[in-house]
Structure 1
Amino acid sequence: MTAVDTQAQVQELRRQLQSLLEAATANERKLDRFDALERRLMAVESMEELVNLLLVECRADFGLDAAELWLLDPDGELSRALPSLPMAHAPRLLENHLPLKDLFGAARTARLIGPGHGEALLAQAFGDGTPVRSGALLPLIRQGLLIGSLHFGANDAERYDAASGTKFLDRLSTIAAIAIESMLNRERLRRAGMTDGLTGVHNRRYFDHRSLIEFSQAVRHRYPLACLFLDIDHFKAINDGHGHPVGDEVLRQVGGLIQRSLRTGDLAARYGGEEFVVLLPRTDLAGAREVAERIRLTVQDAPFITPEGGTVSATLSAGLAMLPAGAVSFAELLSAADRALYEAKRAGRNRTIADTAGEAA
């Protein structure tokens, strides 16, 4: 072997060593970024913060061209937990497992998709209009159940090579799934403390807290505040004639009808028994009367489905009051709405009476 050959071999070995060192340095930097991301995932305080971290900050930190988060939400828990998140940053909420099965099949392992294969899956995972040429599809699994998927996409066709390892990505998907489950459990506990377990609307405890805030805001900024008391007519007769399970089902469905009749920012709560209370901020008398009548007519026309599959009918009476000028406590508004409800009951039920107007709607 000549000196020239030896020198060439040394140079090649140096080149290979330099390449290995660069790869090790790159992997170390990658590991540091993943470790930092994992710590941040475990420290998030809300679903909004978690989603923003995965879809916005993660995309910037790792130089991604696209990021998608799909989450299974058959009962609407997440849609309630993310009411104010901008739609551009929101996850895709799935009603069933079918889209996830299309991505992962039975394997439920991370999938790296590069050029030449899987283009249809990339279009499905990121949308047809997203210019993604390679991607990583990460299943989110908790306690053996597939709860969603996290998708990273790049315009670089070589970014996610199907032959590459997925160790870091597998760990990230595990941590992300744990964080999502933790946030869901926290949201369940939070809602349990302020939600009526039967009807799904807010409970009396939450209403008492929120009503004082709405009262002080209305007084400070001098905007109208309306209060409705709603009571199911002859509810005892429903319980006596059909049984308490049917009465509970009527209560549950009435609570849902009330909720669907309100705007974002309005407040409905079960006040006690068969009585509900509604607060309508920034709503004048005519607007509040319209809401009360919409709720009343919706209940009147609804066939309430019993646990056995039959139907019963129900009506409700509504008392309406506006926050009086110069009011010094929320109790004044509540008492006025309660008086109006009593008048609606005395006048024959299934009607709206406004305390300030003194006449039936």
Structure 2
Amino acid sequence: MDSAIPAPDDDTLELDAQDALQELQRENQALRARLENLLELAHRNQSIMARHQNFDLKIIGANSFRELITNIFSALAITSELDVVSLVLFDKYGDLQQMLADLKIDLNEFPHLLFLRHEVELSQPESALRKPQLGLYQSLAYASYFTSFNKKPASIAIIPMRRQGRLIGCLNVGSFRADRFQPNMATDFIERLGSIIAICLENVINNERLTYIGMTDPLTNVSNRRYVEQRTLEEIGRARRQRYSIACMYLDIDFFKQINDRYGHEGGDDVLKEVARRIKAELRLSDTLGRFGGEEFVVVLVNTNLHDAILVAERIRKSIASQEFTLSASGTCQATISIGLTTIDEKSNQDNASVVARDMLQRADRALYQAKNGGRNQVRCY
């Protein structure tokens, strides 16, 4: 005879219902916590994407080399929460560095920008620079990428930058966290970053080259007259604001017609190019040198008094007179230069900048006329 199964009493049913409700509440709380975490992650990812989009817009909109490099070193570190950022650019013949110097871009502003002639200077095989390298920092392999940093990163990403199949440089980023960059991480994002920066670099360098061509004398590769006149106005305004003196030199190669007659125009061109090179070698990056036409040059020395300007002018004169000029066709020749010099100080820099510039050039020209009449190969002041 079957025994009867007792029916659950009301208290048991109530306890079961409470347990089920509590379990449901726990599941609901767990789901809510997961949703909150997912929502927080979504907001974080959205914020990260927005920062990267803003960074992309900044570098794409950069119109100059200085603006682009500044954004790479400052904005990228903030955008990607990086501790170190450096940039290597390959400049095989030094042409890019020379052009930037001529454009008055002081590369000392960017200690984490490194120019190299060839990939071998990075102490790594070329094959290693075909894809991004991620992982722990190793001094033997990566020291050359981060030479400007006293504190080295714990983990790094080396991102090759290529344009039209050619390696133009490397973007190098690092973190003090050892787990930030790992060898098994996906590289799609950083490859895209390297590609965008490479395109932006090529764009601003081409823009700078167009600017450089427009302001450069094609024979001597120093500034042309138009640029010197523009630069003079800028320097007069800056000198007025900062209350310092400016010196101006007018230089003319002595008996240049005789050089042309004796050695031909090719020989004359050789002398012009070498004279420009020797003058430039005696100047600072902040000074301006330009060819005003024919065999005439003008130099503007910033923050320079008369005494110091005379010393510079004498160094230029001696550098030209003391050494023969090698001609590309054959042989050598001698050449000298006459220099007219003047200065403007705070008291004489009160008029309109165009008036001050015209007066300064006229006085330097008069001083040059005195040097010519006085026997040439000398410096005269007016």
Which stretch of structure 1 is more off in the superposition, 285-294 or 163-172? 285-294
The residue aligned with 1:54 is 72
What RMSD in Å do the two structures reach over aligned CA positions? 3.4
1:24 offset after TM fit, Å? 8.2
Change (3 A) 1:336 1:350: same
Using structure 2 for the length normalisation, give the TM-score. 0.77
1:168 aligns with 2:186: no
1:106 offset after TM fit, Å? 3.0
Q: Secondary structure at the match of 2:169?
A: strand
Q: What pairs up with 1:31-50 in 2 under 5 angstroms?
A: 31-50=49-68
Answer whether contact 2:323 2:334 (CA < 8 A) is retained. Answer: yes
Q: Secondary structure at the match of 1:243?
A: helix
Task: Kindly provide the CA deviation profile for residues 246-290 of structure 1, in whole angstroms up to 9, marking residues without a partner as x.
Answer: 322221221122122123433221111110012234433322221
1:148 offset after TM fit, Å? 0.9
The residue aligned with 2:130 is 109
Answer whether contact 1:51 1:90 (CA < 8 A) is retained. Answer: no
Distance in 2, matches of 1:82 and 1:60, equals: 28
Answer whether contact 1:265 1:281 (CA < 8 A) is retained. Answer: yes
Where do 5+ consecutive residues of structure 2 fail to align? 1-26
What is the aligned counterpart of 1:337 among 336, 351, 364? 364
What is the aligned counterpart of 1:178 among 193, 199, 203? 199
Q: Count the aligned residue pairs.
A: 343
Which stretch of structure 1 is more off in the superposition, 144-153 or 57-66? 57-66
1:302 aligns with 2:323: yes
Answer whether contact 1:110 1:136 (CA < 8 A) is retained. Answer: no
Change (3 A) 1:90 1:233: farther
Q: Secondary structure at the match of 2:182?
A: coil
Distance in 2, matches of 1:191 and 1:71, equals: 19
Answer whether contact 1:56 1:89 (CA < 8 A) is retained. Answer: no
Where do 5+ consecutive residues of structure 1 fail to align? 1-9, 356-361
1:118 offset after TM fit, Å? 5.0
What is the aligned counterpart of 1:122 among 134, 142, 165? 142
The residue aligned with 1:347 is 374
1:42 offset after TM fit, Å? 0.5
Change (3 A) 1:292 1:129: closer
Distance in 1, matches of 2:82 and 2:132, equals: 16
1:168 offset after TM fit, Å? 0.5
1:99 aligns with 2:105: no
Q: Secondary structure at the match of 1:271?
A: strand
Using structure 1 for the length normalisation, give the TM-score. 0.82
The residue aligned with 1:286 is 307
Distance in 2, matches of 1:40 and 1:80, equals: 25
1:124 offset after TM fit, Å? 2.9
Q: Return the letter of the residue paired with 2:80.
A: F
Answer whether contact 1:321 1:337 (CA < 8 A) is retained. Answer: yes
What is the aligned counterpart of 1:234 among 252, 255, 267? 255
Q: Return the letter of the residue paired with 1:97.
A: E
Quote the sequence identity (%): 36
Distance in 2, matches of 1:46 and 1:21, equals: 41
Q: Secondary structure at the match of 2:195?
A: helix
Answer whether contact 2:101 2:285 (CA < 8 A) is retained. Answer: no
Distance in 1, matches of 2:285 and 2:118, equals: 26
Task: Kindly provide the CA deviation profile for residues 25-63 of structure 1, in whole angstroms up to 9, marking residues without a partner as x.
Answer: 476665544433222221112222211222222112212
Answer whether contact 2:156 2:175 (CA < 8 A) is retained. Answer: yes
1:262 aligns with 2:283: yes
Distance in 2, matches of 1:119 and 1:21, equals: 39
Answer whether contact 1:47 1:82 (CA < 8 A) is retained. Answer: no
1:71 aligns with 2:89: yes
Distance in 2, matches of 1:22 and 1:309, equals: 78
Answer whether contact 2:88 2:145 (CA < 8 A) is retained. Answer: no
Answer whether contact 1:67 1:152 (CA < 8 A) is retained. Answer: yes
Distance in 2, matches of 1:172 and 1:150, equals: 9
1:323 offset after TM fit, Å? 4.2
Distance in 1, matches of 2:295 and 2:260, equals: 11
The residue aligned with 1:187 is 208
Which stretch of structure 1 is more off in the superposition, 164-173 or 322-331? 322-331
The residue aligned with 1:144 is 165
Q: Return the letter of the residue paired with 1:350.
A: N
Q: Secondary structure at the match of 1:106?
A: helix
Distance in 1, matches of 2:104 and 2:83, equals: 24
